[in-house]
Structure 1
Amino acid sequence: MRELEGRVAIVAGAADGPRQAIAMRFAEAGARVLVTAADVAVADGAAQAVRARGGTAAALAVDPARDEDWARAVEKAEAEFAGLDILVVASSTAAPTPTQALRLQDFRGHVSGDLRGPFLALRQAAAAMRRRGRGGSIALLGSVAAKTGVRDRLHDAAAQGGLRMLAKATALELGPDRIRVNSIHAGLGPDSPLGQGPSLADLAEAALFLASDRSVFMTGAELLVDGGWSAQ
């Protein structure tokens, strides 16, 4: 079922397994996909993998901390594919560190670094979607640390909580333009009630749901893909 036929997506961070899977799934559903990565060879490899399976894809090197790089990504999507309808961008997950061992500069650097890329990408993508005038879907991909306490992950919880609220705040602002902003929160490991962590396919299907018309009345929502981990 090609439910994204005629749509254009940016999937940011193609060096990451889940986002590679999301780019593949979007292309299978009919979207034309621009994949980004900090390294141009990685981005090119991800785009080639999409094309090898019959999809349409382009690639661009993007430093997620640079606003001008996100502007170039949007411009490339508009130039090659005539617009932008979908954005998927993620924060990173930090290594566990006990609070007493966490230095202030590391805490500040992690929170700022985790939120800067999604903020800049969202702002540039929303402007493009407004210009096109036919709405759009933005999904911020994070972890269940946004929803529940996780031992030794104070810094990660702060960043993930910020990502969750970034989606909610911008959903209110962009709603009148029919631009939906939601967040996806993946499980952190196999110790869930279902006995496993989410697969790449699980995350790709969640992203496809939020990008498609099946979720047309969802914005500011949190989609948990954690096997019940956050229910414990």
Structure 2
Amino acid sequence: MSLTDKVAVITGAASGIGKEIAKAFFAEGAKVVIADLNIEAADATAKELDPSGARAMGVAMDVTDEAQVDAGIEAVAARLGGIDVLVSNAGIQIVGPIETYKFSDWKKLLAIHLDGAFLTTRACLQHMYAQGRGGSVIYMGSVHSKEASVLKAPYVTAKHGLEGLAKVVAKEGAKHGVRANVICPGFVRTPLVEKQIPEQAQELGISEEDVVKTVMLKDTVDGEFTTVEDVARTAVFLAGFPTNALTGQSIVVSHGWFMQ
């Protein structure tokens, strides 16, 4: 289950969960690619991990831009010698009730989560298949891949969609030794979630403390947030799993919020 010298592309990796996964992969010996919309932050994260630049690099990547995704993955493969792992992590959140939700926000959110997952997957699979050494594709789902919450119609739709994509990639990739799985975290206290707390408090007419206690964490077994470290450990496990025995699956990391 070693990640030594494996080339791992993590989207949205300049901060939050993506950055923690990059750090964990690097610690396990992988060469990590910080793919992010913010190239300055991506380069800074890569330099933080490896000042020499030998095992970490930043790449500008708007995951909804087909040309930029394809060019970025080609540049990574040329510099680092292929692609072994993709973590499709880039995402946003825009909350609001369906009856007033802007179509432009719906399209933006689905484009980042679903179009981005498709474009990065397609680009990376071409290299994984050609290399003949297998690979691992990991999608960042959510408990919202399994459940629904008010005010999150496009997010829930997108996260459910990632499970379907992973299952198809698992079936198509099996003959090439490529696995595909989904990590489904509960609420992780990243800037994405911090932003939601006051937004939901306003929409629901309750306090921010009640959003945390009675909305976000009410169904956990211990009232605790999932941590970025929890998610990163799961990503390391999935990335390094050696066979097709674990593919097409979703792993829920949520302090018991959702139990399969």
TM-score, normalised via structure 1 length: 0.91
Go from structure 1 to structure 2 and tell me whether the alpha carbon gap of 1:224 and 1:51 turns closer, same or farther (over 3 Å shift).
Answer: same
Across the aligned residues of Structure 1 and Structure 2, the Cα RMSD in angstroms comes to 2.1
Distance 1:107 1:34 in 2: 29
Q: Cα offset for 1:122?
A: 0.4
Q: Deviations over 1:128-164 (max 9, x none)?
A: 1011111100100121111012122122111111111
What letter matches 1:123 in structure 2? R
Go from structure 1 to structure 2 and tell me whether the alpha carbon gap of 1:76 and 1:38 turns closer, same or farther (over 3 Å shift).
Answer: same
Distance 1:11 1:89 in 2: 6
Go from structure 1 to structure 2 and tell me whether the alpha carbon gap of 1:25 and 1:215 turns closer, same or farther (over 3 Å shift).
Answer: farther
SS in 2 for 1:219: coil
SS in 2 for 1:162: helix
User: For structure 1, which segment, 194-203 or 132-141, has the greater mean C-alpha deviation from structure 2 after superposition?
Assistant: 194-203
What letter matches 1:111 in structure 2? L
The answer for the alignment partner of 2:237 in structure 1 is: 209
Does the aligned pair in 1 maintain the 2:92–2:112 contact within 8 Å? Answer: no
- Segments of 5+ residues of structure 2 without an aligned counterpart are 188-215
Q: Deviations over 1:54-109 (max 9, x none)?
A: 98201111111112222222222222221111010125242331222223443344
The 5 Å alignment of 1:2-17 reads: 3-17=2-16
The 5 Å alignment of 1:2-41 reads: 3-41=2-40
Matched, 1:230 2:229: no
Matched, 1:198 2:226: yes
Q: Determine which structure has more spread, i.e. the larger CA radius of gyration.
A: 2
Does the aligned pair in 2 maintain the 1:91–1:115 contact within 8 Å? Answer: no
Matched, 1:67 2:95: no
The answer for the alignment partner of 1:87 in structure 2 is: 86
Taking every aligned residue pair, what percent have the same amino acid on both sides?
Answer: 29
- Segments of 5+ residues of structure 1 without an aligned counterpart are none
TM-score, normalised via structure 2 length: 0.82
SS in 1 for 2:141: strand
Aligned residue pairs total 231
User: For structure 1, which segment, 49-58 or 123-132, has the greater mean C-alpha deviation from structure 2 after superposition?
Assistant: 49-58
User: For structure 1, which segment, 96-105 or 199-208, has the greater mean C-alpha deviation from structure 2 after superposition?
Assistant: 96-105
